[in-house]
Chain A
Amino acid sequence: MIDKRVNTAHEAVADIFDGATIMIGGFGEAGSPVELLHALIDQGASDLTIISNNTGSGEVGLAALIKAGRVSKAICSYPRTANSTVFTELYRSGSIKLELVPQGTLAERIRCGGAGVPAFYTATAVGTPLAEGKELREFEGKKYVLERGLRADFTIIKARTADVHGNLLYNKTARNFAPIMATAANTTIVQVQNVVDAGDIDPETIVTPGIFVDRVVCVAQPAHESELVAAGVSYP
């Protein structure tokens, strides 16, 4: 019988190693796996490369991981967020590297990484500083830039519901990068609000098939980043 559940967030992230590359779901606070991020801070892995859309807010979740000095490089589309100076300070002091990627190119690089496609051409960023040094090619009279697929050692994401096989349903715009990140890592770790038995989710409605998921941990009442920030919480 297949059962991908693990008991705690700490157990779920226990094998994340120094120097790992980690995809982290979320667009702003929607979909940010706050409890898995806090477990990762407690676990202590450092020199991490993170792949995420943003860099967190306040001093909780992703921003707290960065503030703790665990991240050496961010591959990111929009590392500026209201209520956070954590990334800004480390970037300006040269303590964190940034690879800036247009949001859609970031999504497609992750999708390709998960799909076994090493690279693709896109019109996005042609003629801009973000295409400098990259191969250009013309198709039917229009210029495109070559972008590489992205893969990671780990993906950590949040979903709403899982079954024991790891089939996932999401909540509204918290879905964002999670379904593609789940496909593009060696190990995909998911926190969900509830776990149900195999067969309890209609197969027609499943968003992420369980083949892409390795570990599921139940966090019944996940914290919302904005509420932690408003309450002045700083993790740890």
Chain B
Amino acid sequence: MTSKDSKAGWSREEMAARLAQDIPNGSYVNLGIGIPELVAKFVPEDKTLIYHTENGLIGMGPSPVAGQGDPELINAGKRQVTAMPGAAYFHHADSFVMIRGGHIDLCVLGALQVAQNGDLANWSTGEPDAIPAVGGAMDLVAGVKSIYVITQHTTKHGEPKLVESCTYPLTGLGVVNRIYTNLAVIDITPEGFQVVELSPSVDFKDVQERTGAPLFTKRESATAGKK
């Protein structure tokens, strides 16, 4: 494999669409900033999901029509959004009661690294001159029922993001249930990374070569793990 292959497999949109298929109808979902936000665009029409944004809105809708937004109606990424019929506003303590209290069904997050035991690093590279900033990531992974990670399989430099153990500062211990990359869908199991599905353009060996820990093929009983 060469570094130019690092974008092989599914596109970002295809990754988001693949993940969207797996979310049960009626789920309360928190989507992180970046690729996770794309998931909302690919939810099949026969499903209704209810989106939570931790700054104080459940029932979040898409971006407003240009010129009709309100600077005080924003999402966790501080972009203007809308409120769907049935939405509710609340303060931060209640918002994190929803998160920490296990009321949100699914959170989709990006990652710097995911370890084979489900440890997640996604808030800091630990570089000495970086300004540390964590937001709600640690609360989300500690409290939401299922955590899906959506990420490129490797870094821009071709280094594995799926690893034996994280070298970056952790966001949470053993919190990830399933990973969607450009190359594969992978569950975290007690035995490690278990491949659920491969992108059509790659084979198992390709994916293993770009993964920092052993992969297993899917077993018959495997389903997305629940914490």
Does A associate with B in a complex? yes
Partner of B71, one of A30, A78, A81, A125: A30
> Are B131 and A91 in contact, CB atoms less than 8 angstroms apart?
yes
A40 vs B130: C-alpha distance when bound (angstroms): 29
CB within 8 Å for A128 and B172 given contacts A77-B135, A103-B135, A105-B139:
yes
> Are A123 and B143 in contact, CB atoms less than 8 angstroms apart?
yes
> Are A27 and B129 in contact, CB atoms less than 8 angstroms apart?
no
Q: Which residue of B lies closest to A122 (CB)?
A: B100
CB pairs A–B below 8 angstroms (14 shown): A29-B74, A30-B72, A82-B78, A87-B131, A98-B132, A102-B136, A102-B137, A103-B96, A105-B139, A128-B169, A128-B170, A173-B72, A179-B93, A180-B93
Interface on A for B, CB 8 Å cutoff? 27-31, 53, 77-82, 87-88, 91-92, 98, 100-108, 110-111, 122-130, 170-180, 207, 224-227
A7 vs B43: C-alpha distance when bound (angstroms): 51
> Are B138 and A128 in contact, CB atoms less than 8 angstroms apart?
yes
Residues of B within 8 A of A87 (CB): 131
Return B125 CB to nearest CB of chain A, in Å: 12
Residues of A within 8 A of B78 (CB): 27-30, 81-82
Partner of A125, one of B57, B73, B142: B142
Tally of chain B residues near chain A (CB < 8 A): 39
B134 within 8 A of A: yes
Residues of B within 8 A of A125 (CB): 138, 142
Partner of B99, one of A30, A104, A178: A104
Q: Which residue of B lies closest to A105 (CB)?
A: B139
Return A126 CB to nearest CB of chain B, in Å: 6
Per-residue A-contact encoding for B33-58, CB less than 8 Å = 1, 0 else = 00000000000000000000111110
Q: Among residues 115 to 152 in chain B, which have CB atoms less than 8 Å away from a CB atom of chain A?
A: 119, 129, 131-139, 142-143
Return A174 CB to nearest CB of chain B, in Å: 4
Partner of B93, one of A29, A101, A102, A107: A107
Partner of A107, one of B89, B92, B138, B173: B92
> Are B91 and A177 in contact, CB atoms less than 8 angstroms apart?
yes
Return A148 CB to nearest CB of chain B, in Å: 16
> Are A175 and B100 in contact, CB atoms less than 8 angstroms apart?
no
B181 within 8 A of A: no
Output the residue of A91, A130, A226 with the most chain B CB within 10 A. A130
> Are A108 and B71 in contact, CB atoms less than 8 angstroms apart?
no
Return B22 CB to nearest CB of chain A, in Å: 25
Partner of B134, one of A77, A180, A207: A77
